Amino acid sequence: MTVYNFNPGPSALPSEVLERAKDSMFNYQNTGLSVLEMSHRSPLYEDVHFQAIADVRSLLAVPENYHILFLQGGASLQFAMLPMNFLSPGKKAGYILSGSWSEKAYQEASRIGAAIVLASDKDNNYRSIPAVDENHFADDLAYIHITSNNTIFGTQWDALPTRKSIPVCVDASSDIFSKPIEWDNVDLLYAGAQKNAGPSGVTIVIIRNEFLQTANKTVPKYLAYDTHVKADSLYNTPPTGSIYLLGLTMKWIKENGGVKGMEAAAKKKAGLLYDAIDASGSFYQGHADKASRSCMNVTFTLQNSELEKQFLQEAKARGFIGVNGHRSVGGCRASIYNAVPLSHVEALRSFMIEFQKAHA
């Protein structure tokens, strides 16, 4: 049976990446070594490491004055590292709440210093991206934090707000590499790799040098961004296997039209599912308001919980994996990251239409 992987993360990897990885797991470039067995200080690994960084830079058109880091601890550690490095005493950090992950980022910052909520869509059950007016932000903010795609609720910023004088930091865990990034509007961006960039275990952090220079100097060494910048993300043993797979994923993105190619594919795939939802006459109901819909996580409910249970059971039996909503909100969610083939989304769409015919 074909397995259609709609997991929210860790999620589908391109089959070409897994095929290539299979060979290098045993005999990397005829060295007789697995890629997992090499010293992180060896020239062989250094090639993997620096090529992956170079590929991230070229794919996302990251300007030269930004550093690219490969860290550990997931996006969750970034929730803490960001305020530890940049939320100085006497300053406030401004958070825009657009879902559970931005709430977590805000809560973590509150443990470290003065964090404030600039805008929130919580009362609307996070159906839309909150409206923000940068002119109302106080000047003494250390930074503004945004979650570019809300994995659980299925909403996404169409465009990031225009950066004025306050640094903007973005959690792009669930939409990195799915569209170009306007670097003029970003000072720091972070993303766990396990959705669009590779397997879990490595977190990408991209930071503007001028912003880095303003970091607190009292942060424990391992948690200071500067430590990893100075050491080229080789301060201690990096997650070599994850970085190797991330590098293969970067190559796959390049071969498939780059980030622009990913963007076009994402729009097409999302369009197929949203069209099925909109044409269903409320049999399926999208969670997100139309203007805030995510191209990465399509969230929807059915008319009642019994029908929803049946839908999810049948979907599972047909090989559709991970279509249940996050445990905190329920409902259904199809995560259609870069590596999910168009044909798999078409299959899910057909199943949705078929299920509706049988149950309407």
Q: What character string, x for contact with ligand PMP (CB under 6 A) and - otherwise, covers 96-115?
A: -----x--------------
* Nearer Cβ to ligand PMP (101/320): 101
Decide if 227 contacts 212 (C-beta within 8 A): no
Q: What character string, x for contact with ligand PMP (CB under 6 A) and - otherwise, covers 184-203?
A: --------x-----------
Question: Which member of 24, 85, 173, 249 binds ligand PMP (CB under 6 A)?
Answer: 173
Could you tell me the smallest distance in angstroms from the CB atom of residue 181 to ligand PMP?
Answer: 15
Decide if 125 contacts 331 (C-beta within 8 A): no
* Nearer Cβ to ligand PMP (205/259): 205
Alpha-helical segments (H) within the chain: 15-24, 43-59, 74-86, 100-112, 209-212, 225-230, 240-255, 258-278, 305-317, 342-359
Residues 33-92 that bind ligand PMP (CB under 6 A): 74-76
For ligand PMP (CB under 6 A), the number of binding residues is 11
Buried-exposed string 250-259: b where 16+ CB fall within 10 A, e elsewhere: bbbbeeeebb
Is 51 assigned a ligand-binding role in the annotation? no
Question: Which member of 174, 196, 280, 338 binds ligand PMP (CB under 6 A)?
Answer: 174
* Nearer Cβ to ligand PMP (240/335): 335
Where do we find the tokens 């945004």? 146
Buried-exposed string 204-221: b where 16+ CB fall within 10 A, e elsewhere: bbbbbeebbeebeeebee
Question: Which member of 108, 171, 187, 263 binds ligand PMP (CB under 6 A)?
Answer: 171
Decide if 63 contacts 257 (C-beta within 8 A): no
Q: Which residues are catalytic?
A: 101, 171, 195
Is 194 assigned a ligand-binding role in the annotation? yes
* Site membership for ligand PMP, residue 9 (CB under 6 A): yes
| DSSP single-letter state for residue 324 | B
- The CA distance from 287 to 277, in Å, is 10
Residues 140-169 that bind ligand PMP (CB under 6 A): 147, 151
Burial of 4 from C-beta contacts in 10 A (0-12 / 13-18 / 19+): buried
Annotated binding site for pyridoxal 5'-phosphate: 75-76, 101, 151, 171, 194, 236-237
Annotated binding site for L-glutamate: 41
Annotated binding site: 41, 75-76, 101, 151, 171, 194, 236-237
Contact residues toward ligand PMP (CB under 6 A) are 9, 74-76, 101, 147, 151, 171, 173-174, 192
